[in-house]
Structure 1
Amino acid sequence: MNNPSNNSVDSRQLIFLSVGTIVGIGALSLPNDLVKKSGQDAWIAGILGAVFPLYLGTLWLFVAKKYPDKNILDLSKLCFGKILGTFLNFLLFLMFLYRTTSVASGLCNIFLISLASYQTQLKLLIVFLLIGSITAYKDLRILGRLNTLIFFITIILSSILVFAFKEGNYRNLLPVFQASPVNIIKSTKESLFAYNGIEIIFIASPFLVEKDKLAGCIYKTIFIVIGIYFWFVFITIYFLGIDLIPKYVWSVSTVPKAVVIPVVSNFRLIFMMFWSVIIFKTLSNFYFLSAFTLKDIFKKVNKKIIFIVIFILSLYLSLQYKDEITRRSINSRLAVIDAIFSVAYTTVIAFICHLKKGANDES
């Protein structure tokens, strides 16, 4: 799995991998999460939420300049020692596994509610996780190509929402700056799950062919994600208003109702089908990160065994979310713990790397 030739990616693929890992199911309910405290100023909170990946990305840029050929798993053992570093890497694996299961459960709920209510949760999860496992098994280079293709689907679906300008009302956005700065800042906590995933760069940066373009990859990724999230929150408030948004499970999915195509009776279903492909891509990315991390811990274990173990764990844990309400309730707690661990873990590694000699300085 760690073979450089199988995992090498160019800067374009790394950007699309990073965007693809961040933008997924969280985008559909982001307005629901942010309007609770920010009201019609939720779009501001959506932008401020990018501070989380921006901080992590900037830290990693500093670390990667000193150790361009090491990923965060290598640096963890370098900074903390083999035993503690491996334990922290295992916690990182649990973080990726949690994200895998949450995305899988959310994708399953979309199908049960909107697309395939006649199916069972167990059958859907088995199919999603099995296909996600097969996709992730193909290594980073193939995953990069998949993310590149699906990125353009993401842009097309996002652009289609512009038709909502015909049906919405600008008054839904007024008055601007009514929410207090404190409430806006507090509501950014609700965007933590939607913004997670920048950590894929911590794993993939050593495989980047053009090392000098890492900074561009990080900041272009964050800029693209900010653009998509701002647009989703803005257009959803414009179309529905803050009073109607909480009434929908995935508020963004109602905006495509404004798209009228003569031969299509319900464009919303088409939108949800294609966005499910985008969510599936995010599932595959987190599955890859989980497997890559666990394989690094258990180097002598066969790769197929690693993927089977993760499949079993993911299936069992995904079933524990029960329904969408329960999943979001769990996310509201775990996403904060997830973010604190990610920030603390990366910050300490960056600080210790600052004190150590970089790979370029060592003889």
Structure 2
Amino acid sequence: MIQTDKNSITFLQFVFIISGIQISVAVLSLPRKLAEAAGSDGWMALPLGFVLNLICSYIIVSVMRKCSEKTLIDAISTMMGKWIGKAFALIIALYFFHLMYDGLVRAILIVKIWLMPNTQAYVLMLLLLFPAYKVALGGPRIIGRYAEFVAVISCWLPFVYLFTLKYAHWLNLLPFLKEGFQPVLYAVKETIYPTLGLSAVFILYPYLKNKEKAASALFLSNAVTMSVYMFITIICFIYYSPYESKYYNDPIISILKTIEFRFIERIEVPFISFYLFVFSLVWIPCMYIVSYCIRQIFELDSHRTPLRILCALLIIGTYFFIPTFNQSDKLQHWLIWFGFSMEYILPSLLLIYIILYKRLRPRSIL
């Protein structure tokens, strides 16, 4: 059993970590992708994705409640053997590495386009990873406190979009279901990538103080995620219209260029700067989970060394190669299927296996 006293996280910290992983760089292009999939009905896919995530969350919590306060890696090692546990740790590490890398790459590309076009990508990677390393090194408790801090300083961001309502046309949302329900169902696929991150519960659950509230915490985190996505999507649809949103790669940034204040010329500059804090809630927890899994694989005393190696590899790799937006889109498409397998299919299979394992071996220490 792992020691969680020094790294315990509260209910709200757990909520902010999970919703922070979900509300990431994907929000920038989500209105465009929903408009491409279902036109003006694209926003209807979000509640359906919310229901799907609630089912997934319940299954994940049910799995972790049967693991006797162990991480899933430790539980699998107990049930299936040491090497199967290491293989599972490697799969989790690869999954969260791709989530982390895609978030970092997308953030760097956005910063280069909107803020610092002449800065080299590896320099931006270094600037992003230096504070991220210090936070991830502190473990779940420090990550949880950082997530609370980000939630407080970024709560003003949605209110900026309210200034666009005077130019809004609510008729852009009508008629409802003009092409039937099939396009809406097709658009649900576009909500998978923006809501990935629930499998972080496999590692973070033992650190939650009140584990009986885990299901409520996941419900709240999913509700926060869906509310943000719904708000941003509808704002873009009623301002640009779903058809015009298709022509903007990141419509929620482009819409800021239309907002004018007397005291600031370009509102998108401080917006992106503050939103980098929100972006960081993707790669910081993922950095910790990746280094934790590597620690488990090689049976190290601390995740410090894997974390340092990870940061060094990211900086050196970015010096030689940085993906383009098109290549990042391909990575996101691949992550949809990888994430669907990790967060929807795998937990269901694990729950069935653990139930059978406990029935066949009632005296098991699991």
Could you state the TM-score of these two structures normalised by the residue count of structure 1? 0.92
Superposition deviation, residue 314 in structure 1: 3.4
Amino acid at match of 2:261: I
Superposed displacement of residue 226, structure 1: 1.0
Partner-residue secondary structure (3-state), 1:262: coil
> What is the alpha-carbon distance in structure 1 between the residues aligned to residue 247 and residue 33 of structure 2?
12
The equivalent residue for 1:336 is 337
Distance 1:91 1:244, change over 3 A: same
The answer to whether the 8 Å contact 1:67/1:360 transfers is: no
Mapped partners of 2:86, 2:214: distance in 1 = 26
Describe the shift of the 1:180–1:72 C-alpha distance in structure 2 as closer, same or farther (beyond 3 A): farther
Q: CA deviation at 1:16?
A: 1.1
Q: Is contact 2:135-2:284 (8 Å) kept?
A: yes
Kindly provide the CA deviation profile for residues 36-91 of structure 1, in whole angstroms up to 9, marking residues without a partner as x: 12111111112222344323211122123333412221222234322123212201
Q: Name the structure 2 match of 1:349.
A: 350
Identity among equivalent positions (%) equals 19
Shift in alpha-carbon separation, 1:220–1:70, aligned structure 2, 3 A: same
SS in 1 for 2:198: coil
Residue 326 of structure 1 and its aligned partner are, at CA, apart by 1.6
Show the counterpart of 1:82. Answer: 82
Summarize the alignment of residues 1-363 of structure 1 with structure 2, pairs less than 5 Å apart: 3-300=3-300, 302-315=302-315, 320=321, 322-357=323-358
**Structure 1 letter corresponding to 2:20:** G
The one-letter code matched in structure 2 to 1:93 is A
Greater CA drift, 130-139 or 109-118: 130-139
Counterparts in 2 of 1:354 and 1:69: CA distance versus 1, 3 Å:
same
User: Equivalents in 2 of 1:317, 1:183: separation in Å?
Assistant: 40
| 1:301 Cα offset (Å) | 5.9
CA distance in 1, matches of 2:125, 2:86: 30
Letter in 2 for 1:57: S
Q: Is the 8 A contact 1:165 1:239 kept in 2?
A: yes
Q: Over aligned residues, Cα RMSD in angstroms? A: 2.3
Counterparts of 1:232 and 1:40, CA distance in 2: 14
Alignment partners' CA distance in 2, 1:361 and 1:171: 63
Q: Which deviates the most, 322-331 or 300-309?
A: 300-309
SS of residue matched to 2:300: coil
Residues 67, 337 of structure 1: alpha-carbon distance in 2 compared, 3 angstrom cutoff = closer
Kindly indicate whether the alpha-carbon contact (under 8 Å) linking 1:100 and 1:314 is maintained by their aligned counterparts in 2.
no
143-152 or 250-259, larger mean C-alpha shift: 250-259
Q: Return the alpha-carbon distance in structure 2 between the equivalents of residues 161 and 68 of structure 1.
A: 45
**Residue type matched to 2:18 in 1?**
S
Residues 34, 360 of structure 1: CA spacing in aligned structure 2 closer, same or farther, 3 A cutoff?
farther
Contact 1:52/1:195, CA 8 A, preserved across alignment: no
For 1:65 and 1:232, the matched residues in 2 are separated by: 35
Instruction: Tell me which moved more, 283-292 or 95-104.
Output: 283-292
Deviates more, 1:2-11 or 1:88-97: 2-11
SS at structure 2 position matched to 1:129: helix
Structure 1 segments unaligned to the other structure (5+ residues): none
Gaps spanning 5+ residues in structure 2: where?
A: none
Q: TM-score, normalised by structure 2?
A: 0.91
For residues 77-107 of structure 1, what are the alpha-carbon distances to aligned partners after superposition, in whole Å with 9 as ceiling and x for unaligned?
2343221232122011100000111000001
Look up the SS of the partner of 1:244 in the other structure: helix
CA distance in 2, matches of 1:314, 1:339: 25
Deviation track 1:88-135 (CA, whole Å, cap 9, x = no partner) reads: 220111000001110000010011100111101121112212332222
For 1:297 and 1:7, the matched residues in 2 are separated by 21
CA distance in 1, matches of 2:258, 2:362: 56
Contact 1:107-1:279 at 8 Å conserved across structures: yes
How far apart in 1 are the matches of 2:35 and 2:312? Answer: 37
